[in-house]
Structure formats: C-alpha cells, structure tokens
Amino acid sequence: MTSQEDISPPLAVAEAVPVARLPKFVPFEPPFWLRPSLVQTALASFKFRKRGKNPMLEAARDHILDCEDGVRLKGSYSHNPENKALVILLHGWEGSQDSTYVVACGRRMYAQGGSIFRLNYRDHGDSHDLNEGLFFSTLFNEVFDAVKQAAELADGAPVHIVGFSLGGNFSLRIARSLRDLTIKNLKHIFAISPVVDPWGAAPLIDKTWLYRRYFLEKWTASLRKKEKLYPQTYDFSHIMSEKRVLAITSKLIPVYSDYPDMETYFKAYRVDPHDLEYCPVPISLITSKDDGIIPVDDIKTLTLNDNAQLIIHDYGGHNGFFQSLTGPTWYDDYMSDVIFGE
C-alpha cells in the first residue's frame, strides 16, 4: 500500500482550480441562518425532503445484481423515457437507496430526463438476507461489479456516478481503478463529501454526540438484524453495550474481518495522494471546510489532473450544501449543469 506523502495540493473553492473542460460554478453562499455545519449536515437526512410526488420512485423497479464470488447486491432502477443520461447514486455508510439525500438528488436528475440507478451496499437497505458475509468498506470489487452492471442499463446514454461520503470514497476508488478497468460510456464521477483517509476521519464521528448517536443507532440495528438472520455465524453480544463507534469497530474487525486491527482496516480503503492522477474520466470532488466528519486537509493531499475539479466551500457541512431549507442543494445545480448542460 502506498504511504501518505507530503505534497503541495491543488487548491480549490472559491479557491477552485479552473479547468477548461469543466463548467465554471457559482460559489456556495447560504443565508446566515443556514451556515452552521450541524444544520447543513442534519438537513441532508431530514425525511420531509422526500415528501410530495416523486416520478422517480413511481418508475422504480428493484434489481438484484449477481456479483463476483456469489455476492448479490440490491438496487433500484428508474428508467426515464427521455433517457438523457444514467445517473448511478452511491449512498453513505449506514444509508441506503432510500436515504433522503439519495432520493432528493435522484428526483432532481430524473425530472431533467435522467434515468436513475440507486445501489445498496451489502447489509444496507433491505438487503441483509442476500449475503451471509458482513459488509466492510473494503469490499470494493463487488461494488465496482454492481456499478458496471448498472451502467449496462444506460442503453447508449452517457453514464454518471454520484457518491456521497463513503459512496464518495467508493466513487474515487472507482476512478482509481479506471487506469486498468472500464465502465461502459462513463462520462463523469462526482464525489460529495468523500472519505479520503478513513483512519483520520473515523474518530471525528465519536467527538460529536449527534453523529455518534446517529451512527451507533444505525449500525447496531444493522448488526442485530444480521445476527437474527444468521445466528449460527454471528454473536454480537460482546459489543452491543459499547457507546462509541470506534469501540465497536475495534472489537468487530479482528473477529469478523481479514484485518488484525481497525487501523489496518481503515488504511485498506484509503485514497492515496497519487491515486487519481491518471484517471481518464472527469471527476468533481465537492467538500466543505466545516465538514465535521471529513477533514478537508485529507482531500487537499490528492494530486489531480486536468480532468478533475476540486471544489472546497467555506460552508456545507457533511453532504449538505443547502441553499434554502428545502433545496435544491448546491451540488444539485452543479451536477445539472455538468450532466444536462442546464
């Protein structure tokens, strides 16, 4: 594994590096009352944003994807009669195809003529029964395989990948893999608040009570569901009393993964500084200086080529970037411009 290096990163944001082949963008300047990081982050998951008519959900059909080593992943495909593009959405850790930020983004892209594929990772959404093995963020090959299969549904239309948080990490690892592999008709990769160095980011979840409570409740509920489905394989009784995400991780990893400790595990899905330098597909990385989960300095270590644009806003929290209470988000407008030229 390549070690981290001390390099001078390309600056962005209102510091953005101008790239001729990518659109110029309007800086994200939310009203004063919407600027706090916790407000931006919380809004990303508030369910009221999913209310109302949603043609994307009405058109949605479940898909089970048969991936390598007998793994099955579940997704949802919404074909748009216009089929201007296929947008593949990758959620964050303990999210799903039905996460608010995924559904809201999908609805916006569908309304503009895009077909939408929303993927669940193993043990996310209603998919715990599909595989006996546990989900780990290092399980890249099955996610890549699923995304490649989903791209075949495009029927000739341009394909775009959008990843949020851990989904952003998967998106960047997909970008890295394109040095050797291909995804048919892939035109652009978007990474929203992407995890770059999990070992540096993981402790931040436990430092803020809101993040810690959210992920503890989600993760322990997922583990209980898995334990109930496969009692002969799993016994999580020794970790359910833990009150910190890292405490659970430290006990789970040595017993149920191929990694001896959580540091080794976290470093196994890190995106290293030069991983994206030769990616042949355009990339947009969107993050904020006030992200309470992902240190912005991690992203600044990445060396990017002329196909990539790094956008670091002053505000936005984690997966937020709300311009108003109900949206659309800043990245909705940006992606619309890139994908549909609007």
pLDDT score of 1 more than 60: no
- The pLDDT assigned to 5 comes to 32
Long-range CB contacts (within 8 A, 24+) of 131-134: 131/71, 131/72, 132/230, 132/233, 133/71, 134/226, 134/234, 134/256, 134/257
Residue scoring higher pLDDT (276 or 14): 276
Domain termination site, one of 242, 269, 296: 269
- Say if residue 234 is in the same domain as residue 259: yes
Residue 184: alpha-carbon gap to chain centroid:
20
Q: Can you tell me the mean pLDDT for 245-271?
A: 96
- The pLDDT assigned to 120 comes to 98
Q: Can you tell me the mean pLDDT for 41-65?
A: 93
- Boundaries of domain holding 224: 198-269
Closest alpha carbon to 247 in 203, 282, 285 = 203
pLDDT tens per residue, range 106-164: 999 999 999 999 999 999 999 999 999 999 999 999 999 999 999 999 999 999 999 99
- Say if residue 158 is in the same domain as residue 218: no
Within a 10 A sphere around the Cβ of 15, how many other Cβ atoms? 14
- Say if residue 186 is in the same domain as residue 278: yes
Residue 322, token pair as written in the block: 């709300």
Closest alpha carbon to 147 in 239, 281, 262 = 281
pLDDT tens per residue, range 270-283: 999 999 999 999 99
Within a 10 A sphere around the Cβ of 169, how many other Cβ atoms? 28
Domain termination site, one of 236, 269, 302: 269
The backbone torsions φ and ψ at residue 88, rounded to the nearest 5 degrees and listed phi first, read: -100, 120
Claim: this prediction has a pTM higher than 0.75: yes
- Say if residue 293 is in the same domain as residue 237: no
In 3-state terms, what secondary structure has residue 95? Answer: coil
Indicate the number of domains in the chain: 2
Domain termination site, one of 269, 295, 322: 269
- Say if residue 131 is in the same domain as residue 263: no
Rg (CA), the chain: 19
- Say if residue 88 is in the same domain as residue 105: yes
pLDDT tens per residue, range 197-241: 999 888 889 998 889 999 999 999 999 999 999 999 999 998 998
CATH number of the domain residue 53 falls in: 3.40.50.1820
- Say if residue 119 is in the same domain as residue 170: yes
- Say if residue 131 is in the same domain as residue 245: no
Residue 21 pLDDT level (bands cut at 50, 70, 90): low
Q: Which residue has the tokens 């209603």?
A: 126
- The pLDDT assigned to 116 comes to 98
Residue 24 pLDDT level (bands cut at 50, 70, 90): confident
- Say if residue 215 is in the same domain as residue 76: no
Residue 2 is given by DSSP the state P
- Say if residue 13 is in the same domain as residue 42: yes
User: Which residues make beta-bridge pairs with 237?
Assistant: none
Distance CA 159, CA 148 (A): 10
- Say if residue 92 is in the same domain as residue 211: no
- Say if residue 169 is in the same domain as residue 96: yes
